[in-house]
Amino acid sequence: MVQNEGRRKEAITPSWAHLRLPPFPQVALRVLQLTHNENVQLHELSDLISSDPAFASEVLTIANSLLYAPRFPASSVMQAIAVLGANNLQGLCMTVGVRAYMGKALSQPAMRAIWRHNLACALIADQLASVGFMDRDVAFTSGVMHDIGRLALAVIRPKEYSLLLGVHSGSAVSILNAERQLFGWDHCEAGRQLITDWKMPPAFEPIVAEHHAPRQKDDPWNMAHLINVSCRMADTVGCTAFSGCDVTPYPDLMDELPERERRLFHATVETLSIEIARKIDSVESVGVL
Ligand SMILES: [Fe+2]
Ligand SMILES: [Fe+2]
């Protein structure tokens, strides 16, 4: 009897290695790897992106959207890179990559909420990094990737995960337990596996795997903390990853920021909410959505 139970559980939760998850867009991963190489030439990046016409067209569409708000619209990938700079490229390509990875699933409300949450987190992380002299492109990329593990769970069992996202209520952390019961992993652990499978730079691993871990009192402020706060700010501005997610009051989140960021970041949640909604809407109004 016990043996049967064990076998049944194994059938429901196969080992990670046996899951057949769709691959992440290769061009986005290559851009991420190349932009970590200081000697990379802009034309190499342009050639790489242009080698996938569908990906290149999405890059151009988003590069010309309000997300980057260029003064003049770019008409080629090379022009877009020249205008935005290589420094914005990994965030831009990972945004296109995550959107392509989600594909048609984006038409489901639960998946769309995750996409909006990731993008809101990326936009907030970018601004927090900017006022705190941290790397904006890494912050944006980390934000857009931080909940990538949720996408893996959604691919493994779409109906069950959508249902869980629809009925669960509580803090963002409280859903981790429910995910572990349903899948054997939570989305943080699934994200960690994806970072390894996709051979992404290892610096992203702690950010994706530990974005719900609270900051210890004496820990110096770093990118993982920045993403932790950005994730909760995304909830607070109305972009929760699931509808029953508790949100942290904005003044409490501001209290968690280092002094400089607290002084220079949006003083009220209203101005931040308006700006984030405007930028997300600008991306949703173009391209495949
Ligand atoms: Fe998360
Ligand atoms: Fe999140």
What confidence score (pLDDT) does residue 6 get? 46
How many A from CA of 45 to the centre of ligand 2? 29
**CA dist list (Å): 201 to 66, 88, 251:** 28, 17, 34
How many A from CA of 212 to the centre of ligand 1? 6
How many A from CA of 187 to the centre of ligand 1? 7
* Three-class secondary structure of residue 65 per DSSP: coil
How many A from CA of 285 to the centre of ligand 2? 23
How many A from CA of 26 to the centre of ligand 2? 24
Residues with CB under 5 A from ligand 1 (ion): 147
How many A from CA of 20 to the centre of ligand 1? 22
Closest CA to 266 of 140, 116, 121, 127: 127
Q: Which ligand lies nearest to the CA atom of residue 173 in the structure?
A: 1
How many A from CA of 186 to the centre of ligand 2? 13
What confidence score (pLDDT) does residue 12 get? 53
pTM summary value: 0.91
The Cα 220–Cα 99 span in angstroms is 33
Tens of pLDDT, residues 49-87: 999 999 999 999 999 988 888 888 899 999 999 888 877
How many A from CA of 150 to the centre of ligand 1? 8
How many A from CA of 117 to the centre of ligand 1? 9
Tens of pLDDT, residues 111-157: 999 999 999 999 999 999 999 999 999 999 999 999 999 998 988 88
What confidence score (pLDDT) does residue 8 get? 45
How many A from CA of 220 to the centre of ligand 2? 21
Contact 253, 214 (CB under 8 A): no
Residues of the chain short of pLDDT 50, as ranges, are: 1-11, 288-289
Contact 137, 87 (CB under 8 A): yes
State which amino acid sits at residue 205.
E
Contact 108, 86 (CB under 8 A): no
DSSP 108: S
Main-chain phi, psi angles of 169, to 5 degrees: -135, 145
Q: Which ligand lies nearest to the CA atom of residue 151 in the structure?
A: 1
What confidence score (pLDDT) does residue 14 get? 65
Closest CA to 231 of 201, 205, 207: 207
The Cα 6–Cα 3 span in angstroms is 5
How many A from CA of 146 to the centre of ligand 2? 6
What confidence score (pLDDT) does residue 88 get? 87
How many A from CA of 275 to the centre of ligand 1? 22
Element spanning 91, H or E: helix 89-102
Closest CA to 178 of 170, 186, 167, 166: 186
How many A from CA of 188 to the centre of ligand 1? 7
What confidence score (pLDDT) does residue 10 get? 46
